[in-house]
Structure 1
């Protein structure tokens, strides 16, 4: 009897000794959590060739409190971004924390298929005829990307070509970078894929990574327009006889116009691709194709324009109307920091009641950007800064004498002194400028009281200056 009981007791102790203790249970739970986290992470990053620190970046701004996301017309508008593998990492991520927090509907096209933050980045060139994709020199970088991903890129291929336009006429030349040569092939396929993948919107806003937008102005503009009309609206540029909307400035297209251009492209694909091959700028290809599709350009400058805020000509007129009083919708040549800066400016303006101000019409004008964003930065001189002074040159041996040279000219508003060459230049028009690119020797300053006086003399903007046609 005693022996049998002892055996049962010993057996029970052996069974109980196999039960996991608290530490083992905790280890098991932590292992499950880590495994689940890795699975979720890999769902976002496994099919992407982006570096892990970029591909797995988490959102750092909250979406729900943003009023901009719920504005009238937001659900009817699709933002379409065209980018490339060579500029994706430096430019696109910031739009996920700014532009795309306001725009609830967006799609991104590139020359390389990948996933970023769970969002599919579409290879826009898959519908280009195989003969071009497999053999044309412009597609050399595309073929390398298709085969080896980002590992195929070399450092110099991250350079982007830009050109300047003076009074709407191009003064630059053809870009030589591999990314630029490939870029022109993206426009027409992008329209086709946009309508295929994301149909049903009334408006399509096309932008590039170095574009910045005031989303509230986009929606205000659309409310004044009829999407059933073939609107193709942008900042006008002219190359020879080709007039088109500058791509980097952004351009607005109605669903009617988009359907027309896609129908023309698909029914004239061979002809359209041959025309693309002969051109150097993809936005010029787009403009001519919209025209052939009976959706000619509506010239929307200065509402849609291609300057940075620091380089914009604040005193300029458009015909007999001061640009100062026009609505402002887009900026161009913007760094990632610039995009974030202007996005935050718009959010502050909204939070301060800008949308609800019936006196001003509830939209941002150029004057608002100058008064609340540019002017406050002109209170003190900046080292390593170029404010673009080129109107007059003065003899000056040092910075104080350059300041005094500006002060002696009753109309001078700002000055710039080169510490290396002792060159002093001044200007009678206020511009903030930008960080000096080629030298740290520039010191730029403003006569703030005079700039403030210049501002007070600007128009009071009692009229609305929206552009709805070329008339």
Structure 2
């Protein structure tokens, strides 16, 4: 091999020592799940085409759960926005049907008969199958209510999931069967991601994050909630399972063993955590706030732990909000902003630009006060009785107040920043919301620039 004449033996020894030291450092540096993007200004030259869909490894499978009565609304919105670049997507419901070009598989068709028969939670399922067979239309079942028989279970479900729909009680039975069916269709992939049909996944950022993890390790990740001594990944925020974790679940007949006991529990995402921990010793790895059960418009900005963290999922999104996020992604791509976007980017490029210049917005819930669980979670404070003008004055008098909402003679003081959403007048009167722009601008000016993004 030819060697450049200027590389003397002493220089060669120095270079060899440097390379050896580098190798030692690489081999001894502790493994980490943090991935860093150091250059926030990276862009492609103008003559390079910008690819919307990243060329990153696509050994990632997405499983999206929906209900038959909402599939026609949810599935096209999901596939045309969040999952437009996903290569392997499997759609599941409680009915086998086609929605345009997309096939939706019945996740419950192989649940054991002794579990399905004489089970009140499957009454809706039987009725739905019969109605679809005879009429091909499920509209009369939309909004049908059903409450769990266990009062404690009913209360917890209502407060945390805000639903008493009959179709929702079937959802818990889908989880293990969705995993089994997906593994049968696409085994031995690296990662399996389960979401709801109203979940938005920031696909390029998800792939970047998964590159930092090892699929051969038994990993179970998501936005953690605590219940009955268990941390479990919230299903709507997204659940990530590694290949090794999936193998453990599938090859031990988990669905068959757990189906008879599902009626005792509120939710499939919780039972998944119980099975993983108790049967296989796999604990949840917290991925909050990257994985969020919040809507895009209700992300609680103002928490320093959120600011420089990437955003990977949002939940409870109507189709129009999914389109809004997809447009946001496209705009960043058109400006050659290729790095993962953070909660700081959401604030600067979306939230603050959407807050009105006027004093307030009518027919608007800015603080998420309509959901007391969500409002209280971020140390909101309610004052009553108060007029709307008194609510404005109360916010001005409280130096921690960044925004406020007035409804039904109650003033809600918010100490985080949310854009919120349209909320029509109801029996309590008009919803009115305002923001303390001066304090918000001051708070934003004190935040870091996020030159280094870490998961």
Whether TM-score is above 0.5 comes out as yes
Aligned to 1:387: 366
Aligned to 1:377: 354
* Change beyond 3 A, Cα 1:332–1:226: same
Q: Contact (CA 8 Å) 1:227, 1:254: kept in 2 or not?
A: yes
Aligned to 1:97: 80
Cα offset for 1:338? 1.6
Cα offset for 1:202? 1.4
**Aligned partners of 1:434, 1:343: CA distance in 2, in Å?**
18
Aligned to 1:68: 52
Indicate the SS of the match to 1:115. strand
Q: Contact (CA 8 Å) 2:145, 2:164: kept in 1 or not?
A: no
**Aligned partners of 1:120, 1:444: CA distance in 2, in Å?**
42
Matches of residues 195-234 of structure 1 in structure 2 within 5 Å? 195-234=183-222
Cα offset for 1:176? 4.2
Cα offset for 1:134? 3.7
Aligned to 2:240: 252
How many pairs does the alignment contain? Answer: 381
Cα offset for 1:309? 2.9
Aligned to 2:20: none
Structure 1: unaligned runs, 5 residues or longer:
1-64, 163-167, 356-361, 467-471
Indicate the SS of the match to 1:444. strand
Indicate the SS of the match to 2:301. coil
Aligned to 1:151: 137
Cα offset for 1:251? 1.5
**Aligned partners of 1:376, 1:118: CA distance in 2, in Å?**
37
Higher relative contact order by CA 8 Å / sep ≥ 6: 1 or 2? 2
Q: Contact (CA 8 Å) 2:424, 2:431: kept in 1 or not?
A: no
**Aligned partners of 1:294, 1:395: CA distance in 2, in Å?**
51
Q: Contact (CA 8 Å) 2:59, 2:190: kept in 1 or not?
A: yes
Q: Contact (CA 8 Å) 2:363, 2:425: kept in 1 or not?
A: no
**Aligned partners of 2:50, 2:91: CA distance in 1, in Å?**
22
Aligned to 2:316: 333
Aligned to 1:82: 65
Q: Does 1:364 align with 2:341?
A: yes
- Identify which of 256, 260, 283 aligns with 1:296: 283
Aligned to 1:284: 270
Aligned to 1:459: 448
Query: Pairwise CA RMSD of aligned residues?
Result: 3.0
Cα offset for 1:78? 1.5
Q: With the length of structure 2 as denominator, give the TM-score of the two structures.
A: 0.75
Cα offset for 1:447? 2.8
Q: Once the two structures are superposed, what CA deviation does each residue of 1:281-305 show, in whole Å capped at 9, x if it has no partner?
A: 1111111222223433211111112
Q: Contact (CA 8 Å) 2:395, 2:413: kept in 1 or not?
A: yes
Indicate the SS of the match to 1:100. coil
Q: Contact (CA 8 Å) 2:115, 2:260: kept in 1 or not?
A: no
Q: Contact (CA 8 Å) 1:243, 1:287: kept in 2 or not?
A: yes
Cα offset for 1:395? 8.1
Indicate the SS of the match to 1:94. helix
